[in-house]
Amino acid sequence: MSYSQRLAEREAALGRPVRVGVVGAGQMGSGLVAQVHRARGMEVAAVADVAVERAEQALAAAGRTDVVRAASIEEAARVIEAGQAAVLDDGLRLAELPLDIVVEVSGIPDVAAQVALSCVLAGTDVALMTVEADVTVGLLLSRMAAAGDAVYTVCRGDEPVECVKLVEYAQDLGLEVVVAGKGKNNPMRPTDVPEDVEEEAKRKGMNPKMLCSFTDGTKTQIEMAALANATGYAIEEPGMHGEAVDLADLAKKLRPASEGGIIQGERPVVEYVTGDVAPGVFVIARSDNAVVTEELHYLRLPGEGDYFQIYRPYHLASVEAPLSIGEAVLDRRPSFISTTWSADVIATAKSDLAAGTRLEGIGGHHLHGTAYDAGQAREADLLPIALAATSTLVRDVPAGQALTYADVELDESRPLVAMRRMQDALIGSGVVR
């Protein structure tokens, strides 16, 4: 049975739909609210945003006419129990409400990590659309959730998650995955600053910093590092190869160098490519059986020799996110989690930076992200980009150089920093791997 059928049956049995809380009512959050409103067996019961009127607008645009601005958490709970939709200004309080799952769509790593932690500690299922948080503290969150009653997951619809589904499909067919990755949607300009994309952002209705995080490459590096941590696959070199490869040549180029490709090692790797692959995701898989290889060619699976490409030409972001609600609530399993710490995304200077600079975060003027092998990053004491915001440089850093922890005075008041230190300690002691 489909999730919509099963959720409808659950609603009939319990007398109410799955209650969904949403944190963040921007572009993506509003899309999610509208999508959930149209799904069978679930409803948005609460929306939290620092701009409460934005939460109200998202619910109204979805077609809800029973929206109540709650003056207290107790009132919000009563509104939800009455079958209405509550709005409030503090996403961290959603874990206290009678909700089945909270979906975080803030786009802010610090907020996402705190929302996830508050839900896991309260035993409430939680799904993130801010993969920047997962690539920073996802292993800690997934292990904490596994030790309790809550499901922690990254949402369906983003490239890393949909790529994992292709990996699972290839493995289920008995194929050996060699490369998993995505096509990059935007140009790769690592030194972009928000002013460089301001006009384009205005045309697209985007925040310039968010668009800058796409064009400077940080978002792609984060997505592929998250994919590496979910699969255990390797980042073969800092920043990955990032070759210009069209769809027709994927299986020719993304194979071992010994067979004419660009992959140097023996482990499966994650990669991104430029070309006509975007906005799709792909897996390059090898068949080690002549009969199967012949059959796959006969069935016209694109490929060459023993190597084949399994390709999905789209990812649907918030439109697909409700699938993770079904997986979590019904099957009690995550769509996507960090299973190991294979990769980190490191803060890299966009320009010469002077000591005393108070650093901006992702998509800002100072830094772009570069994916590294986690062991290499740990050995060199490199600084994850999500931790860099609001920290202060204590020495000059030249353009293009990766920052280390010794280069900055971290803002230790940030919960994200504390969570990362805990995760690092657990990895360092061998408690988690």
Is the same domain home to 358 and 322? no
For tokens 């005075």, the residue is 409
Is the same domain home to 184 and 297? yes
State the DSSP H helix or E strand holding residue 125, giving kind and residue range, or none if neither. strand 125-128
Q: Is the pTM of this model over 0.95?
A: yes
Does 433 have pLDDT greater than 80?
A: no
Judge whether 338 lies within some domain: no
C-alpha to C-alpha distance for 22 and 127, rounded to whole angstroms: 10
Does 87 have pLDDT greater than 80?
A: yes
Q: Residue 185: what pLDDT?
A: 85
- Dihedral of CA 358/386/107/122: which sign? negative
Does 183 have pLDDT greater than 80?
A: yes
Q: Distances from the Cα of 291 to the Cαs of 17, 95, 295, 306, 308, in angstroms?
A: 49, 53, 6, 11, 14
Burial of 11 from C-beta contacts in 10 A (0-12 / 13-18 / 19+): middle
Is the same domain home to 147 and 272? no
Report residue 46 as tokens. Answer: 């609460």
Tens digit of each residue's pLDDT (9 = 90 or more) over 227-272: 999 999 999 999 999 999 999 999 999 999 999 999 999 999 999 9
- CB within 8 Å of 31: residues ≥ 6 apart: 317, 318, 319
Is the same domain home to 127 and 268? no
C-alpha to C-alpha distance for 357 and 73, rounded to whole angstroms: 40
Is the same domain home to 130 and 198? no
C-alpha to C-alpha distance for 369 and 362, rounded to whole angstroms: 8
Is the same domain home to 16 and 141? yes
Tally Cβ neighbours within 10 Å of residue 12: 11
Average pLDDT along the chain: 97
Does 48 have pLDDT greater than 80?
A: yes
When pLDDT is cut at 50, 70 and 90, the band that residue 108 belongs to is very high
C-alpha to C-alpha distance for 130 and 127, rounded to whole angstroms: 9
Indicate the residue among 277, 303, 331 that finishes a domain.
Answer: 331
When pLDDT is cut at 50, 70 and 90, the band that residue 342 belongs to is very high
Q: Residue 432: what pLDDT?
A: 78
Residue 103 is which amino acid?
V
Query: Is the separation of the CB atoms in 375 and 327 below 8 Å?
Result: no
Peptide bond into 279 cis (omega under 30): yes
For tokens 């979590």, the residue is 328
**Category of 188 on φ-ψ map: left (φ > 0), alpha (ψ -120 to 50) or beta:** beta
Tally Cβ neighbours within 10 Å of residue 66: 11
Is the same domain home to 188 and 266? yes
Is the same domain home to 302 and 167? yes
CATH number, domain with residue 137: 3.40.50.720
Does 70 have pLDDT greater than 90?
A: yes
Report residue 176 as tokens. Answer: 């050996």
CATH number, domain with residue 356: 3.90.1210.10
Judge whether 337 lies within some domain: no
Domain range spanning residue 391?
343-428
Judge whether 336 lies within some domain: no
C-alpha to C-alpha distance for 154 and 6, rounded to whole angstroms: 21
Is the same domain home to 145 and 201? no
Per cent of the chain over pLDDT 90 is 97
Per the structure, how many domains does the chain have? 3
Output the DSSP codes for 271-316. Answer: EEEBSS-TT-EEEEEE---HHHHHHHHHTT-SEETTEEEEEE----
**Buried b or exposed e, range 253-265, using 16+ CB within 10 angstroms:** bbbbeeeebbbee
Is the same domain home to 167 and 149? no
Q: Residue 430: what pLDDT?
A: 86
Do the strands 281-286 and 367-373 form a parallel or antiparallel pair, or are they unpaired? unpaired
Mean pLDDT of 403-423: 97
Tally Cβ neighbours within 10 Å of residue 40: 17
Is the same domain home to 11 and 143? yes
Tens digit of each residue's pLDDT (9 = 90 or more) over 306-323: 999 999 999 999 999 999
Is the same domain home to 307 and 407? no
Mean pLDDT of 133-157: 97
Judge whether 17 lies within some domain: yes
Q: Residue 63: what pLDDT?
A: 96
